[in-house]
Structure 1
Amino acid sequence: MEAVKSVLALVTNLMFSVKIREVAATMGGHLTLVSNNEEILEKLDIHPSLLILDLTAVEDGWQNVVAKAKEAGVPVLAYGPHVEVDLHEAARAAGCDDVVANSKLNIDLPNLLGKYLGN
């Protein structure tokens, strides 16, 4: 039996969180929702397969969280409204592995998760 892959997510949009949970489950993954930077840092010790950040929900210091995740070997997928160009650029500069618009996340979620969950 294959180990369950965990996904940490700072996601405030209920529709996205439900969709991420459902898609991850079809790939043998388990979604853990977190609500702030401190909670993300505490949960990095479970060695998640992926950290997902809603760029409209991040707190000050989120770039440090990305750096800590990367140090722990955890890839980071960030998403936000396509019009928030500065946020997207900041996420790339912080080291996020993928930065996508909300629409791309919605349309391409199985492929995006599959990339990190090994499916």
Structure 2
Amino acid sequence: MSRYLVVCSDLIFTSKVSGTAQMLGLSCETVMSGAKAESVLDANDDFVGMVLDLNTPGLNLETLLRKTSAELKAKTVAFGPHVEVDKLKQAQELGCAGVFTRGQFTSELPAILQKYVS
């Protein structure tokens, strides 16, 4: 089963992502802070994709993506509020394969996970 990392502090939203992923045959590890995500990536290199909530506390997107292999970065999606234009733009500039507003991500979740992560 393919494994991916979810970086998100919203438990309800994390459940939605995890449930959708399981339906697609993916397993996930969830972390609730940017620092924990960096630590997990330092210790593991077997993730096939990553989902980033740009509103996660302590998320330093530049540092996190610097720790991310080119292969993993190619299967990383980020999402955030539509009003956070700068964060969304930064995620795109730093190489996230897909960048979505939270509404887009929620409404297209199965298709996004299939396209970018699995």
The alignment's TM-score, normalised by the length of structure 2, stands at 0.85
Q: Aligned pair in 2 of structure 1 residues 77, 9: CA closer, same or farther (>3 Å)?
A: same
Q: Structure 1 residues 93 and 46 mapped into 2: Cα distance closer, same or farther (>3 Å)?
A: same
Deviation at 1:117, TM superposition (A): 4.3
Percent identity for Structure 1 against Structure 2:
25
Equivalent residue, structure 2, for 1:80: 80
Segments of structure 1 that go 5 or more residues without pairing to the other structure are none
- Residues of 2 paired with 1:117 and 1:56: CA distance? 20
Amino acid at match of 2:62: Q
SS at match of 2:5: strand
For residues 19 and 59 of structure 2, what CA distance do their matches in structure 1 show?
29
Match of 1:98? 98
> 2 CA distance for matches of 1:12 and 1:61?
14
Any stretches of 5+ residues in structure 2 without a counterpart? none
Asked if 1:23 is matched to 2:20, the reply is: yes
Q: What is the number of equivalent residue pairs in this alignment?
A: 114
TM-score by length of 1: 0.84
Report the 3-state secondary structure (helix = DSSP H, G, I; strand = E; otherwise coil) of the residue aligned with 2:106.
helix
Cα offsets for 1:59-81 (capped at 9, x unmatched): 2532121122134x212110000
3-state SS of paired residue (2:107):
helix
Give how far 1:17 is off.
0.5
| C-alpha displacement of 1:94 | 1.4
> Which 4+ residue blocks in structure 1 deviate beyond 4 angstroms?
none
